[in-house]
Structure formats: structure tokens, C-alpha cells
Amino acid sequence: MTAMDRSRRLPTADEIAEINRRHLIETPLAPADLLFMFGTREDVALRVETAARLWREGYFGWSIVSGGVTPGSEQSECAIIKAAMVEAGIPAQRILEEHRAMNTGANVILSLPIIDAALGLQNIRSVICLGNTWTARRYPMTLHRHWPEVEKMLLTVDSFATPRALWHTDAEFRRRMLHEWDKIGPYKAKGFIAEWPGA
């Protein structure tokens, strides 16, 4: 069965329970030094609206947006998302930019030197990862692989009408979730991500 076919499978009750418990991790949010905005073409407005709310409520002092140019666009995900963040009220000078990443690993690898040059990695003690619900813990797991010292929090958003815990009842939500869940084992084996939280 190919990866695409597998993402169209109907998960068992045990698999649904394991995904809800291990993948859809929710962490308590506390004010952080940095908001890490992972590039996307999905639900950009919702992600930006969430970032703007966090900014207004004092949850971060700096942000980095990471994402390259995707097929069909002349602008990088970073350029599109940052412009929307500024329009939503986040000061442009508080948003660092990474314009080349084409996947989650590159988001982190290419962003770390930018963060270091602007702020000093040693000055960042906590990071909020903001991304899509279905990618879930793979964001902080990727960050943990390359930047284990920093405290990580996870906040995810999606525009599905289906409640998050019932993702398996919506065909497209289910496909996206299973597609991401199936990456965890192989990515850990290849050293792309590291276990988070805990052991």
C-alpha cells in the first residue's frame, strides 16, 4: 500500500485513541521569547489571526516566519504570512524572516542561524510553535531535534468544522492526520525529529 493509499485508510479505534493521546498534544501556553510560525498555504488567515491575538495578549516578544516559494506563487510563504501579520498589528521589526524552507526540517535548520544572528540563541529560553492541527507534535519534535535546550510549547489551528478529537469522522481531516502521523516513525528513524515531550 502506498503512502497516499495508507492516508486514505480507516483507522482502528486503538489508532484513533493513540493519535489523540500522542500526536494531538496540547501544552499549556505561557509567555514565550519567540513565536515560530511554520510556513503554510492552508488556513493562513486563521494562523495570522491567532498570532495577532497572542501578540496582543503578550505571549511573545519576537516571531520568526519560515517558508519558501511554493508552486503557483511568486511570493514566499514567509512574505505572504509576514505581510498579513503586520496588517494584523504585529510590528514588522519584531518579525524575523526565512524565505527558503520547503519542509518542516528546513524551517528549523534555516531559521536557527537567523534567530541566532538577530537575537542570540542563548537568549531564547522558550518558543511557541504555531502550525496546522494535523502536523501537531511534529513541529516541536523537529525543533527539539535541532534545538533541544529551549522550552517548547505547541499551539495548532485548523478551519475544519469537525471537533479536533473527531478528526477521523471527516474524510479530508482524516487523510491529513494519517498522512502526518505516518511520518513520525520513519522521520524518527532517520534522525529528522526527536522525541518530545519526555523521553
% of the chain exceeding 90 in pLDDT: 88
Question: For residue 10, how far is the Cα from the chain centroid?
Answer: 25
Q: Given the C-alpha cell 495548532, which residue does it identify?
A: 156
194 domain residue, yes or no: no
99 domain residue, yes or no: yes
4 domain residue, yes or no: no
Neighbours of 16 (CB within 10 A): 18
Note down the domain range covering 150: 13-156+166-189
Specify the pTM: 0.93
- Enumerate residues 6+ apart whose C-beta is below 8 A from 168: 10, 11, 16, 174, 177
As a whole number of angstroms, the distance between CA 149 and CA 90 comes to 27
7 domain residue, yes or no: no
What is the CATH classification number for the domain harbouring 29? Answer: 3.40.50.620
pLDDT confidence of 199, banded at 50, 70, 90?
A: very low
1 domain residue, yes or no: no
pLDDT tens digit sequence for 115-173: 999 999 999 999 999 999 999 999 999 999 999 999 999 999 999 999 999 999 999 99
149 domain residue, yes or no: yes
- Grid cell in block for residue 33: 521569547
- The domain total for the chain is 1
2 domain residue, yes or no: no
pLDDT tens digit sequence for 33-65: 999 999 988 889 999 999 999 999 999 999 999
122 domain residue, yes or no: yes
CA gyration radius, the chain: 16
